[in-house]
Structure 1
């Protein structure tokens, strides 16, 4: 009887001792934290979003890259708060993907940094180097898996994503190009301006003869910029004359270096098997679907994998549709889930 009692006590003690080792791992709630990294002498500030995960777990992670102009880490341009990238970060978080978004040069807390006293020296390669430093910062975060990194770029950020994906180490497992700049910058500008003159004719603001004259002046301005000759603005409406004057002035170095990149050429450097999503919205007047055709072909030749190009019915450049004017359209969320949920 005594020995049976001892056996029961020993078995109970063993069970109690084993309980902590068998307890469920600790669940870490979703959280944002500020990240700072330095590139070319400039402290760059960003937000790391880490979704809910198990303690010690390494997560897939994506670098988010903003569009052109003064677009900050959240994907907003003052004074509006579009929050395009912040909303994309939230969507990816539902698939347990950590994200890093940052204030690029000229925006948010980063500002112009080392270019404060000579902003005219800021060129497109500087933004690419900044994005590369951000990728390396994301790679080194304790919650991220360096073997499962992705790059997600919106608009001009899509072109930057392509450039990064072919050069960084480790190579990203996936690249998402959301309404990307898929042709040369000045070709895209000319396309947009020609569309505006056609709309002006439709509204009765210009005659067809005036449209022909303005379109010819736009094409001549692009040719002059690429030849580094002064632009003749006499045939342009005031707003367009001001735009092309700026392209030759303080923004000249950036415009020239951005326009030098033809995005389909960059696809050849992607690692075969890289998972790629390329979206285009049928209501996107800034980056029409037709502009992505050459890039789509180049991605196929580079032996990338799906989802590939996904047309988004009724979606505009900021990823909205008529029923969702302030949040990503369901078609966008579905495409992101197909890409990141794989």
Structure 2
């Protein structure tokens, strides 16, 4: 009997959630094709704030998933925002899911391509009379992309979740330092050259996954941005969120971002990992949450975001 009552309660909760919001497909035309996304609107009277959600690195879709993992982190974020009277737009990155046809050749892709995409989505939202203010929220690599775009479109607020506070080349050096010395002896000179804006002609085949010639122009364009310098440019209110069990981005990155912008508010969420779920510090158990779409968002995440937006 108790189980039946629980099932009924969960069903009613799910139905109530659907009534509180509507989701529709939206498109953005670019020079290389159409980007596709989802606009979620709360069932509220009058204008509402809207959050432009920017996904992290790799082939990540609008829901926060990629071919190797399904956790629906960004979809859950959009749903939670709508339940609190806040609209959102999330989109498939170019080359991914509904935006597959918009992908350029790898040798033509630049970090600025992703920034321009977010700027264009932001301008589209700013022209929409249904919205009272535009907030850009960037997750992981999307944090750097989002903060640059927020400056360009003069967004009303900016939220960074699990964003790094150091240039990408420094992050790569740190990650590669765990490899045998023979590997770092090859990678360090390559990183130095790319940082100076020059390509490398002779790359050991074993390093092609990182430094193949066709990807080097993208790396050069990415390496020139320092997140601390970019977030310092923002005049709008800034919220920096970082989880304590994130095994990809460190607390010191949140500290660097916070120190760079006097207007920034920093919140450290106990037990939240990189995919915005509650997870232990144990690496194996932590990674298991990356592919579990049944897990809810970390406890205080939504409350912290909503409070920042509404206050």
Considering the TM-score relative to the shorter chain, is it more than 0.5?
A: yes
Give the C-alpha shift of residue 179 in structure 1: 0.3
C-alpha root-mean-square deviation of aligned residues, in Å? 2.3
The match for 2:200 is 229
In the aligned structure 2, how far is the partner of 1:191 from the partner of 1:328? Answer: 29
Question: What TM-score do you get using the length of structure 2 for normalisation?
Answer: 0.81
Using the alignment, how far apart are the partners of 1:149 and 1:46 within structure 2? Answer: 17
Aligned length: 279
| In structure 1, distance between residues paired with 2:89 and 2:186 | 42
The Cα of 1:217 is off from its aligned counterpart by 4.1
Greater relative contact order (Cα 8 A, min sep 6): structure 1 or 2?
Answer: 2
TM-aligned CA deviation for residue 288 of structure 1:
1.0
Partners of 1:130 and 1:333 lie apart in 2 by 26
Separation in structure 1 between the aligned mates of residue 268 and residue 20 of structure 2, nearest angstrom: 35
Q: Is residue 2:119 matched to residue 1:132? A: yes
Report deviation, 1:141.
3.1
Aligned position for 1:183 = 166
Aligned to 1:309: 266
Alignment counterpart, residue 149 of structure 2, candidates 160, 164, 179: 164
CA contact (8 A) 1:183 1:292 kept: no
Partner residue, 1:106: 95
Give the 3-state SS of the residue equivalent to 1:72 in structure 2: coil
The 5 A counterparts of 1:26-41 are 29-41=20-32
2:209 maps to which of 236, 239, 243: 243
Q: Equivalents in 2 of 1:221, 1:285: separation in Å?
A: 26
> 2:67 maps to which residue?
78
What's the counterpart of residue 294 of structure 1?
256
SS at 2:36's partner residue? strand
**Aligned partners of 1:95 and 1:340 also within 8 Å:** no
The answer for the alignment partner of 1:13 in structure 2 is none
What displacement does 1:114 show? 6.1
Partner residue in 1 for 2:34: 43
Q: Secondary structure at the match of 1:127?
A: helix
Q: Is the 8 A contact 2:200 2:213 kept in 1?
A: no
Structure 1, residues 197-224: CA drift from partner, whole Å, max 9, x if none?
Answer: 4xxxxxxxxxxxxx44444444334224
1:246-261 equivalences under 5 Å are 247-261=211-225
Q: Distance in 2 between matches of 1:104 and 1:172?
A: 20
Stretches of structure 1 that go unaligned for 5 or more consecutive residues are 1-27, 198-210
Aligned counterparts, 1:207-218, within 5 A: 211-218=180-187
Indicate the larger mover: 249-258 or 154-163: 249-258
Shift of 1:317: 1.1
Paired position in structure 1 for 2:44:
53
Q: Describe the SS at the equivalent of 1:73.
A: coil
In structure 2, stretches of 5+ residues that fail to align are 1-18, 281-285, 290-294
